[in-house]
Amino acid sequence: MSSATAPVGIFDSGVGGLTVLQALRHRLPRERFIYLGDTARLPYGTKSAESVVRYSTQAASFLVGCGIKYLVVACNTASSVALKDLRERFEPLPVVGVIEPGAQAACESSRSGHIAVIATEGTIRGGAYQNAIAAKLPNAVLATRACSLFVALAEEGWTEGEIVEGTARRYLSDPITEDPQIDTLLLGCTHFPVLRATLHRVVGERVPIVDSAHTTAAVLAADLTARELHASPTQSGSVRFLATDSGERFARVGSLFLGERVAAEEVELVDL
Ligand code: DGL
């Protein structure tokens, strides 16, 4: 039986999921989190669904071995192809992904039902956002676009400037100009929130930008309470960082995504 004092496990293909961790910590400051970034195998977004399911299962197994009470799949690509497998394999461990919460955020934001979704190649190809949005808003009209280069730019720390803006215009101009009714841009990838300021300039203030982080935190908070698994008001929150490759790079790039400094010494190297 899971105990309320056990940690919440969260994994991503790399450091991008730290944008989700940031929202979780903000919402649930008393929880203990274990964050695993599978940096040795990043990116997941260009890999086959079979590989992503295998990697995700290994990452989840490792966290389950750490005694977690809840699993958060922060990676959109992993959530889109591996969530069902993970739920079945690790039952009764509760597992939440970021697709449903992201779709919910987009549907709540859009008045016209015309939504642009940007994500990795794997996430767009798998159709998980398309299905999740259609289930909530059957008349939704979607423009989807795989924006693989954004992952590399964000990893490089290039979040502003002419190269990023030019890349964003190239990816986004067509969908946005072809459908002037688009009134929401959903960031369906962990790496994209750090590009938000640039994306705002490209799509214009008329189009709000939403992502999964805050809705995922809200879903987790509600479910922890429903299952009586939430941390007690006296528990101190903490984070343990695990990575499958270079702690130094995790700390350097991860600090940008988390919005606060991560020291290389805090990152434990693990083998899945
Ligand atoms: N974490 C991935 C996602 O959210 C982006 C990086 C990758 O391709 O692994 O889809």
Taking every pair of Cα atoms in the chain, the longest distance, rounded to a whole number of angstroms, is 53
Please measure the distance between the N-terminal and C-terminal CA atoms of the chain and give it in whole angstroms: 24
- The span from the CA of 187 to the CA of 154, in Å, is 13
Residue identifier of the C-alpha nearest atom 8 of ligand 1? 45
- The span from the CA of 63 to the CA of 68, in Å, is 6
Let me know: does 95 contact 83? Beta carbons within 8 Å. yes
Strand partners, 165: none
Of 86, 93, 76, residue with least CA distance to 20: 76
Active-site amino acid positions: 75, 189
CA geometry: angle at 123 spanning 88 and 7, to 5°? Answer: 45
Q: How far is the CA of 164 from the centre of ligand 1 (A)?
A: 18
Give 23-60 as a DSSP string: HHHHH-TT-EEEEEE-TTT---TTS-HHHHHHHHHHHH
- The span from the CA of 260 to the CA of 25, in Å, is 12
Pocket test for ligand 1, best of 13, 38, 156, 192 (most atoms within 8 A of CB): 13
- The span from the CA of 154 to the CA of 177, in Å, is 25
- The span from the CA of 42 to the CA of 14, in Å, is 6
Q: How far is the CA of 217 from the centre of ligand 1 (A)?
A: 18
Decide: 190 in ligand 1 pocket, CB within 6 A: yes
Per-residue pLDDT of the chain (272 residues; tens, 9 = 90+): 469 999 999 999 999 999 999 999 999 999 999 999 999 999 999 999 999 999 999 999 999 999 999 999 999 999 999 999 999 999 999 999 999 999 999 999 999 999 999 999 999 999 999 999 999 999 999 999 999 999 999 988 899 999 999 999 999 988 777 899 999 999 999 999 999 999 999 999 889 999 999 999 999 999 999 999 999 999 999 999 999 998 999 999 999 999 999 999 999 999 99
Of 196, 180, 210, 243, residue with least CA distance to 34: 243
Q: How far is the CA of 75 from the centre of ligand 1 (A)?
A: 6
Name the DSSP class of 266. G
- The span from the CA of 161 to the CA of 208, in Å, is 21
Let me know: does 121 contact 149? Beta carbons within 8 Å. no
Decide: 211 in ligand 1 pocket, CB within 6 A: no
Q: How far is the CA of 206 from the centre of ligand 1 (A)?
A: 27
Strand partners, 184: 115
Q: Look up residue 263 and give its two tokens.
A: 């020291």
Residue type, position 140, single letter: A
Decide: 212 in ligand 1 pocket, CB within 6 A: no
Decide: 76 in ligand 1 pocket, CB within 6 A: yes
Helix (H, G, I), strand (E, B) or coil at 193: helix
| Chain segment 145-189, per-residue pLDDT in tens | 999 999 999 988 899 999 999 999 999 988 777 899 999 999 999
For the chain, the residue count is 272
Backbone angles phi, psi at 9, to 5 degrees: -95, 140
Q: Taking the model in full, what pTM does it have? A: 0.94
Atom of ligand 1 nearest to the CA of 190: 4
Q: Look up residue 99 and give its two tokens.
A: 């697709």
For residue 229, count other CB atoms closer than 10 A to its CB.
Answer: 19
Of 41, 19, 64, residue with least CA distance to 246: 41
